[in-house]
Amino acid sequence: MNLEIHDVSKNFGGIQALSGVSLSVEGDELIGLIGPNGSGKTTLVNTIGGIYAPDRGEIFLDDRPVGRLKPNQVAKLGVGRTFQVTRAFRRMTVMENMLVPAFAVTPDKRRRELEARAQEVLEFLTMDHLRNDYGRSLSGGQQKLLELGQLLMTDPGLILLDEPFAGVHPKLMETIFEYITTVHAEGKAFIIISHDMSSIFTLSQRLLVLHNGELIADGPPDEVKQEPQVIEAYLGEEDEEYV
Amino acid sequence: MSSMGRIRFRIEWAVAAVAVVLALLVPYVIQSRGLPTYWLHVIIIAYFYALLSSSWALLAGVAGQFSFAHMGFMAIGGYASGLVGKYLGLPPLVTIVLGVLAAGLAGWAIGALVLRFKAAYLALFTIAFSEILRTLIRGEADITRGDQGLHVAPLFGETISRVPYYYAMLAILVVCLALMYVLISSRVGLFLRAIREDEEAAAARGVDVVRYKILAFVVTSLIAGLAGTFFAHYITILTPNIMVIPQMGLVIAMAIIGGVESLMAAAIGAIIIQVGLEVLREFGAWRLVIFGALLVLTLRFARNGLIAPIFNRVLGLGPKAEARVAEEAPAQ
């Protein structure tokens, strides 16, 4: 799936969250999106996902303008996303959580068929034993996995992950790594927001850096992390760990 | 549907079938035991509240739209049917259909207007709608007869027997409950619950939130309207007092005490409370104190009501985590 963002701006009551952002994602790229807190990363993902309409500019999915579409319409076009704070449906079982996106995006498929697919995905995520548990009874990490599982139910072409590694223990991080690499190998494009520098540099083929709503760098991780503008804006000139 | 889901579905339908058979015997039991036919009237009104309570539970408990307009939709159904009958001279069966459609149309309009409203704003908007409607009905006394009451043709002509009304109300209740169960057991029910949990997340998963929120308002207002039309043609006189806020509060309390996330529990809660208030009539105002205390205790200690947990625990139904979650859940 190809994503084109042309000169997108978004303002919230005088705060310029995005300012003339332009970029493109082609085919099955795995892209990291970094930037300091408040730099506009989540706003960009929300704008791609249809939660916000851009004040200016346009977003294209496979050459189709989608900037004014609603989130459900964007989801049906093949964009899946997770949230910074997990938003599993808490008073619904894990299986019901899996079926919601499947029914919504593929209404022509039968329930039995979708339940079988959900079972496969839950086994892949080692969560099949929790299928009858409520979302609220899962740990934070399990809820993150559940959100990732929900994405697979709709077979999206572009997956937007907002802080997938935040607050997870090393074992779960391994599972999320495996998820991303396996799903990416199937030809899906990813845009991953993360503050975990080690993970994002390891995973990403390309890195985008936002600062004060502007895209200040775009390129291979090894090149981007050497750019003085990025070092200054994102981590500070004296950050030895980053360098 | 999972195997557990299928078992639950079958047991629920079996319980419902037994309940219907028992309900069919009520007029016979009242007659054979020599009880006053007034009790048949009490149970008819209890079924009326059960219909309102269960349909409000679908709107608020399943879809998460905490509306105070439900009695307003009921009144729209009743008044539309009564007014069309009075001014156009149409028979009750025709006016009932028109009354139900009028309530559905109002539900669609309100549903579309409150799309972006949540929690307190939705509640305030729907309270305002109900009060405006009530004031309008009182004010336009030349048309509606205001507080003097609008006379409505009886559904079954001049018969004085309550038995036909009993079976008609029972049939309406059973059919509406069955239709609502079919709805919430389908993918639509799943979408409504997802919207209740988190609208934004549901939309991001592909759920058309606008469409299903309006659908919830339309379906439940159609049912409330049907209840209103039946009530109008049974009692045969309508006044704006049927839609005062305390009446709406009564319906909400019935649903909460039964179990707001279960249609059947909300309906049973309404029947028990309505009959219970009549049984306790000799206690005068104290029965309302008892009722209020029951509501307070339910809100504090049984978030999902008093009847719904019986379905889930005594019958061994529901997801295995349900009991644990219910115990952990704080009262809201």
Chain B residues with CB-CB distance to A51 below 8 A: 200, 203-204
Answer yes or no: are the C-beta atoms of B287 and B277 closer than 8 Å: yes
**What confidence tier does B332 reach under pLDDT thresholds 50, 70, 90?**
very low
Name B204's Cβ contacts closer than 8 Å, sequence gap at least 6.
A49, A50, A51, A71, A72, A75, A81, A83
Answer yes or no: are the C-beta atoms of B261 and B62 closer than 8 Å: yes
| The pLDDT value given to residue B292 | 87
| The pLDDT value given to residue A88 | 92
- Cα B188-B189-B190 angle, rounded to 5 deg: 90
Calpha distance A86→B234 (Å, rounded): 51
**Which range is least confidently modeled, B12-21, B73-82, B274-283, B322-331?**
B322-331
Answer yes or no: are the C-beta atoms of B193 and A91 closer than 8 Å: yes
Nearest CB to B190 within list A87, A90, A100: A100
- In whole angstroms, how far apart are CA B242 and each of A118, A182, B71, B140? 48, 61, 8, 16
| The pLDDT value given to residue B326 | 45
| The pLDDT value given to residue A23 | 92
What are B95-118's pLDDT values in tens digits?
999 999 999 999 999 999 988 787
What are the domain boundaries of chain B? 3-328
Task: State whether B190 and A91 contact (CB < 8 Å).
Answer: no
| The pLDDT value given to residue B114 | 86
Task: State whether A99 and B208 contact (CB < 8 Å).
Answer: no
Give percent of chain B above pLDDT 70: 91
Q: How far is B189 from chain A (nearest CA, A)?
A: 10
**What confidence tier does B323 reach under pLDDT thresholds 50, 70, 90?**
very low
Interface contact B200, partner A, CB < 8 A: yes
Mean pLDDT of chain B: 88
Q: What pTM, to 2 d.p., does this model score?
A: 0.88
Q: Is the pLDDT of residue B57 over 50?
A: yes
Where would I find the H helices in chain A?
A: 41-48, 71-76, 94-105, 111-124, 140-152, 170-185, 197-203, 221-224, 228-230
For residues B83-92, give the mean pLDDT.
93
For an interface test with A, give the residue of B182, B205, B207, B304 to mutate (most A CBs within 10 A). Answer: B205
Only one residue has tokens 């309409």, namely A53
Nearest Cα neighbor of B243 from B142, B80, B132 is: B132
Calpha distance B55→B9 (Å, rounded): 19
Q: How far is B54 from chain A (nearest CA, A)?
A: 19
With CA atoms as reference, the chain B residue closest to A96 would be B190
**What confidence tier does B9 reach under pLDDT thresholds 50, 70, 90?**
low
Chain B residues with CB-CB distance to A85 below 8 A: none
Helix, strand counts (H, E) of chain A: 9, 10
Calpha distance B105→B222 (Å, rounded): 8
Q: Is the pLDDT of residue B220 over 80?
A: yes
| The pLDDT value given to residue B309 | 81
Chain B residues with CB-CB distance to A136 below 8 A: 325
| The pLDDT value given to residue B316 | 55
Neighbouring-strand partners of residue A23: A5
Q: Between B209 and A226, where is the model more confident? A: B209
| The pLDDT value given to residue B52 | 96
Longest Cα–Cα distance of chain A, Å, equals 57
Q: Is the pLDDT of residue B5 over 70?
A: no
Q: What ipTM was predicted for this assembly?
A: 0.89
What are the tokens at A62?
Answer: 């496979």
Q: Between B243 and B316, where is the model more confident? A: B243
Q: Show which of residues 74-133 on chain A sit within 8 Å of chain B, judged by CB atoms.
A: 75-76, 81, 83, 87-93, 95-96, 99-101, 103-105, 107, 111, 115, 131-133
Handedness of CA B41, B231, B175, B253 (dihedral sign): negative
Interface contact A55, partner B, CB < 8 A: no
Q: Does domain B3-328 match CATH 3.40.1350?
A: no
Handedness of CA A139, A141, A142, A148 (dihedral sign): positive
For residues B269-282, give the mean pLDDT.
90
With CA atoms as reference, the chain A residue closest to B187 would be A103
- Identify the helix (H) or strand (E) that includes residue B137: helix B119-139
**What confidence tier does B4 reach under pLDDT thresholds 50, 70, 90?**
low
Half-sphere exposure of B18 (CA within 13 A, CB side): 5
With CA atoms as reference, the chain B residue closest to A52 would be B200
Residue-wise pLDDT tens for chain A (243 aa)? 889 999 999 999 888 999 999 999 988 899 999 988 888 999 999 999 999 999 999 999 998 999 999 999 999 999 999 998 889 999 999 999 999 999 999 988 999 999 999 999 999 888 989 999 999 999 888 899 999 999 999 989 999 999 988 878 888 888 888 899 999 998 899 999 988 888 888 889 999 999 889 988 888 988 888 888 888 876 564 555 554
Residue B131 CA, chain-centre distance (Å), reads 19
